[in-house]
Amino acid sequence: MKLTHSISAIALALTTLSTLTAIAEEVVVYSARNEQLIKPLFDAYSRDTGVQIKFITGGEGPLMERLKAEGQNTPADVLLTVDAGNLWQAAHTGLLRPIPSKTLQDNVPAHLRDPDNEWFGLSVRARTLVYNTSKLKATDMSTYEDLANPKWKGRLCLRTAKKVYNQSLVAMMITEHGEPQAEAIVKGWVGNLATAPFPDDTKAMEAVANRQCDVTVVNTYYFGRLMEKTPSLPLAIFWPNQNLTNKNAGVHVNISGAGVTRHAKNPAGAQRLIEWLSSDKAQNLFADNNLEFPVNPAVTPDKIVAAWGSFKPNLINVKEAGSLQAQAVKLMDRAGYK
Ligand code: FE
């Protein structure tokens, strides 16, 4: 009798506890992606699962500093940010933990996730050539490397070397060509510049449209936004490095992505959220909003994005953008790329 009583008391206590847990389950996200991009996703996840998402947004630098300072007291379960360089940095400084997940390995191509499973790409951004269609034909262009050829003298515009996107591009060129050759290429670019580097991708494309130069290198979602605003601009996308013998060669791609924090209070919930973000259910919500490409190859891109045509991406693991970032920054400095 006494025993039955205590068993039912325990059972009641367990039920109460699990009910509370079900009500209370939440995942806390530190996001370098802005609220307008992530809120619709998190709302959809909450509708789907009943799990509440709390998030704060900020620059990736301050968010990573905050994670570091909070240490094991951090409320954050997930870090969400752009650029493999940043994700690599977070993993390298011990802010993330490995999540061996079959779902993520199936949904995210191997070159777009950490080989040690500490972060996973969730959308793909392609950094490609955009040219003035009244000055060039597609057949005039071939590769990033070709833009170092003196035939492009005074015809090239670039965004500043201070932006991580260009540091990642150069880091990936170091993996492909080795440092001396990559440096010669970057020097060639600098020698071909029509004008000083621009503070952002949009200004570089506007210079191309205004005939200040013929061609530039930008992330495609900036092209998408600019053409949505001003469809009459004489600009088009060119996919470089498509027909090379090197089987890894292709368009430079980078990711936005996420990892579970080292001191997550709800690591299982964090993992489920990241898995969901990689699923066909969420991929269009995640990518289309910013005119990016889904990371999951089973998912079709947004109509505007699909209209740019398909391309072969560079297949070297994007983690190199992080591991070689410091080397790339020094190389660009030596080459006079400001
Ligand atoms: Fe951007």
Q: For residue range 16-75, what is the model confidence (pLDDT) as tens digits? A: 555 545 555 999 999 999 999 999 999 999 999 999 999 999 999 999 999 999 999 999
Amino acid found at 92: H
Span from the CA of 80 to the centroid of ligand 1 (angstroms): 14
pTM tops 0.75: yes
Span from the CA of 72 to the centroid of ligand 1 (angstroms): 31
- Could you tell me if 39 and 86 lie in one domain? yes
Span from the CA of 46 to the centroid of ligand 1 (angstroms): 27
State the total domains in the chain.
2
Which tokens in the block code for residue 84? 């493999």
Other CB atoms within 10 Å distance of the CB of residue 328: 26
- Could you tell me if 27 and 92 lie in one domain? yes
The pLDDT value recorded for residue 23 is 56
CATH of the domain at 73: 3.40.190.10
The strand pair at 120-132 and 156-157 is best described as unpaired
Orientation of helix 280-288 relative to helix 267-277, angle to 10°: 70
- Evaluate whether 318 touches 84 at the Cβ level (below 8 Å): yes
Residue 157 binned pLDDT confidence (cut-offs 50, 70, 90): very high
Which tokens in the block code for residue 151? 């035939």
- Could you tell me if 187 and 243 lie in one domain? yes
- Could you tell me if 266 and 203 lie in one domain? no
Q: Is 160 a residue whose pLDDT tops 90?
A: yes
- Evaluate whether 125 touches 218 at the Cβ level (below 8 Å): no
Which tokens in the block code for residue 279? 């699923």
Angstrom distance (rounded) from CA 205 to CA 212: 10
Q: Does any domain span residue 183?
A: yes
Span from the CA of 99 to the centroid of ligand 1 (angstroms): 27
Residue 1 binned pLDDT confidence (cut-offs 50, 70, 90): very low
Span from the CA of 301 to the centroid of ligand 1 (angstroms): 18
Q: Does any domain span residue 309?
A: no
Span from the CA of 173 to the centroid of ligand 1 (angstroms): 20
The pLDDT value recorded for residue 188 is 98
Span from the CA of 316 to the centroid of ligand 1 (angstroms): 21
- Could you tell me if 211 and 284 lie in one domain? no
Q: Does any domain span residue 189?
A: yes
- Could you tell me if 70 and 156 lie in one domain? no
Q: Does any domain span residue 21?
A: yes
Span from the CA of 125 to the centroid of ligand 1 (angstroms): 9
Span from the CA of 21 to the centroid of ligand 1 (angstroms): 38
Which tokens in the block code for residue 297? 């190859």
Q: Does any domain span residue 198?
A: yes
- Could you tell me if 37 and 12 lie in one domain? yes
Span from the CA of 166 to the centroid of ligand 1 (angstroms): 11
- Could you tell me if 116 and 130 lie in one domain? no
Which tokens in the block code for residue 154? 């005074």
The parent domain of residue 149 ranges over 125-251+319-334
- Could you tell me if 201 and 243 lie in one domain? yes
Orientation of helix 179-192 relative to helix 325-334, angle to 10°: 50
- Could you tell me if 199 and 188 lie in one domain? yes
Q: Does any domain span residue 306?
A: no
- Could you tell me if 196 and 230 lie in one domain? yes
Q: Is 4 a residue whose pLDDT tops 60?
A: no
Span from the CA of 18 to the centroid of ligand 1 (angstroms): 42
- Could you tell me if 63 and 210 lie in one domain? no
Q: Does any domain span residue 307?
A: no
Span from the CA of 6 to the centroid of ligand 1 (angstroms): 60
Q: Residue 6 is inside which H or E element, if any?
A: helix 2-24
Span from the CA of 221 to the centroid of ligand 1 (angstroms): 8
